[in-house]
Amino acid sequence: MSTSLRVGHLGRYARIAALLVKHGRSATFGPLGDPPPVDADDDLATEEDARALVDELESMGPTFVKLGQALSTRADLLPPVYLDALADLRDAVEPIPFAEVEQVVERELGVRMSQGFRSFDHEPLASASLGQVHRAVLRDGRPVAVKVQRPEIRERVVDDMDVIEELAGFAADHTRTGRQLGFRSLAREFRRTTMAELDYRREASNLRLMGEHLAELDLIWVPQPIDDYTTSAVLTMELVEGRSVAALTPVGRLDVDGAALAEQLFRAYLEQILLHGFLHADPHPGNVMLTDDGRLGLIDLGMVAHLDEATQDHVIRLLGALSDGDAPKVAVELREMSTPLDSWDETEFRERIGHLVHTYRTITMAELDAGRVVGELAAIAADCGLRPPSTLTLVGKALLNLDHVVRLLDPELDPNELIERHVASIVERRMMSAASPAALLSLAMEGKEFVERLPGRVNKVMDALAEGQMTLNVRGIDEAELMRTARALANRLTSGLVVAALIIGAAMLMRIESDWTILGYPGIAMVLFLVASLLGLWLVVTSIMEDR
């Protein structure tokens, strides 16, 4: 479907087009729609150009600041010098007058501010393009942080989004790069995430879910929302008393257990990525607070990423291969999780992956950001004609920011060693969660349905044979081979029924308490599951070997 441009947006189109003409030749997407040669980015891009892009995005308003922040995660689209400049893009702006804050709060909560709060600071703790945060005290004495959305910001963002989507659609329809890089889907994803940030109820839900996921980590704290004081434009949450990790000095580090804090924070993000599939995508030092009681508080969960199970499996294998220095496996995993384009060059891809993995294994922690490796993998994939999933670049950006934070806490921390130590236990927890009673019950019900329907299906086949209504079109019948095949099928069918019966029996025994347990589950049930697993594995292996 072709995208049409609106006359009323011509001025905005012209400004964005000028931006592309000015910076396009240095970026992955050129102004005429053709990507520059591989490695051309590093030759053309300069820090001055990247800084100028940041300044121009800031001058264009909050939506384009958000766009710049989103692009800072896309190592597959922009050269490193642009990524570094955009990573420093912060949307700090002048605060709105307190009278406007008061109007928004009273309209959203439906009460006068003096009735809802014992006190409410006039000066904000922080001010950003979409909203600002004030310290307040509830009527019951609890200190809270209140995030208030700027008046009419939603309408402005929606209008800007229309412009961005129209230009992205036009580029996708009329340029090769726009089609290959999926500009239309990129614009839609950006619209979805930004509009989600404008609904503070989403962030409240993110805070609750993240708090549940990280509850076992005693040094990590996620402030919880106050539901009665939260709407789509006002978010009230527990106040994090402390200071930003970015303000931590070498002398100040002596007063905290930096090593323990850094390790738990890194473990928290590994669990988010590999276990829960729910990731705080922007853990820069300003969003990680060192609390007065010596913990780390995670704030600003407006930007999150969701990883499905398939992506989690790929990332687990990718990190494991990186940790082992297994370049061929890194290449295989990255290829399988990406979409090949017309310019896909597998030979160059494997060579460059091998070089990167070798470099990663031979330099010290002080010389390399672990998160940058994932970003470089995405960049290599894009250069060689693959489109990596956007979640991979978000993971890379999150790990890159995380590297910065943990180094502030503990400069000696080795993320590679932590990955090797924690990935195995995280995979074990994933497997145990997959063996939950609900999952086992579902499997048992499927097995029960199979067993119940099997006799009827067999009867239909036998009736058709008896009535002479079944026709087999066979050429060159070998009766001996046919009998062997029939026996093999019967054996497999019988084995399948036995496996299904064992699974159903084990699932039923799961609900019976027993003094003998294995991994917290009744021992007899676990033994039956083990026998079923071995039989199933034997059945699969023999089937594959005999069908060759």
How far is CA 3 from each of CA 6, 32, 184, 191, rounded to the nearest angstrom?
Answer: 10, 18, 10, 17
Q: Catalytic: which of 41, 49, 76, 282?
A: 282
Long-range contact set of residues 40-49: C-beta below 8 Å, sequence gap at least 24: 41/78, 41/79, 42/79, 42/80, 42/81, 44/79, 45/79, 45/80, 45/81, 45/82, 46/81, 47/81, 47/85, 49/22, 49/23, 49/81, 49/82
Angle, helices 62-71 vs 80-87, to 10°: value is 130
Contact present, 212 and 116 (Cβ < 8 Å): no
Angle, helices 370-383 vs 415-434, to 10°: value is 80
Sign of CA pseudo-dihedral 521, 523, 529, 530: positive
β-pairing, 296-298 with 220-221? parallel
* Residue 69 in tokens: 């922040």
Determine whether 282 is an active site residue. Answer: yes
Closest Cα to residue 521, out of 343, 323, 354, 513? 513
HSE, side-chain direction, 13 A CA sphere, residue 300: 18
**What is the DSSP-derived secondary structure letter of residue 225?**
B
- Give the burial string for 133-158 (b: 16+ CB within 10 Å, else e): bbbbebeeeeebbbbbbbeebbeebe
Q: Which residue numbers are catalytic?
A: 282
